[in-house]
Amino acid sequence: MPLLSILDLALVPEGATPGDALRNTLDLAGHAERLDYNRFWLAEHHNMVGVASAATAVVVGYVAAGTRKIRVGAGGIMLPNHSPLVIAEQFGTLETLYPGRIDLGLGRAPGTDQLTMRALRRMPGAADTFPQDVVELQDLLGPLRPGQAVQAVPGTGLRVPLWILGSSLFGAQLAAMMGLPFAFASHFAPEALLPALDVYRSRFQPSEQLQRPYAMVGVNVIAAETDRDARRLFTSAQQQFTHLLRGTRGLLRPPIEDIEAYWSPAEKAQASRMLARSFVGSGATVGAELERFIAETGADELMVASAIHDHAARLRSYAILADVHRSTGRVRAA
């Protein structure tokens, strides 16, 4: 089995506060470190009452300070929302404080709606310059050049590892052209997964950072003692995606007994398409399904998301997955 990592949105469950969610995030990161997960990433989203990771670099620092060895990073920073210089300074500072443990995944989506984009002062068409912004950021984190007038302090020369995130062929093409590792968001946008991996691998050009293509694939995993228990836990994610379709954002809802009574046939079809790369069940069920998925994709690493309302059940889900992983005999990367 490929290496295992975690994508956490610091989801705020009903009955909890953003502070509770952030403390649960740190607790989950420590749990993941003890279970030998490879990375722990956080994502940038704005104006979402159910997501507490909007200040992504701050939360990355909080998690890195509370752990010892697990890699911590952004999955990702939505670069068109920011100046490359500011991101170079933020992640240069993180790398200075926690050397050798920081990753910087980059996306071009806004991570929010049109109204909030304006509040962020994001200019129309900002995503169009994403490739140039990535190059600028890469240069700011590279060695100081003769005559360079602007530098990131800290940041210059630290070579924080960059990743390109994507849910379409665009990200795959850019990652291949720049010779960077690629992370595909199939945990919510699975339809272009296989074509994107093919494009990335077939067009990959070696770079100073990476000599061979390296593909990380996002999946949802909800594991429990029985298939029935896991399917019940999964209804929180199913409700979450249903409300996304309805345009009614909110806190992460507790599981329900009958999801069929909750969504319409059209909502079920669309939410199920978005959640198609979800693996739900006991350890044996999840392990068998993941083996087929890995054979299908050839993924080098799995980035696992688990929208589970109860924190203890979420910890247990990741422990079950770690047990499945260990049973394959795969040794964690140094």
Specify the pTM: 0.94
Secondary-structure percent of the chain, ordered helix, strand, coil, rounded to 5? 45, 15, 40
The predicted pLDDT at position 1 comes to 79
Measure the CA–CA gap between 300 and 204, rounded to whole angstroms: 15
Structure confidence by residue, pLDDT tens digits, 175-233: 999 999 999 999 999 999 999 999 999 999 999 999 999 999 999 999 999 999 999 99
Q: How far apart are CA 8 and CA 29, in angstroms?
A: 9
What structural domains does the chain harbor? 1-160 (3.20.20.30), 214-334 (3.20.20.30)
CB of 293 closer than 8 Å to CB of 279: yes
Reported confidence tier of residue 332, pLDDT bands at 50, 70, 90: very low
What is the percent of the chain where pLDDT is above 70? 97
pLDDT at 301: 98
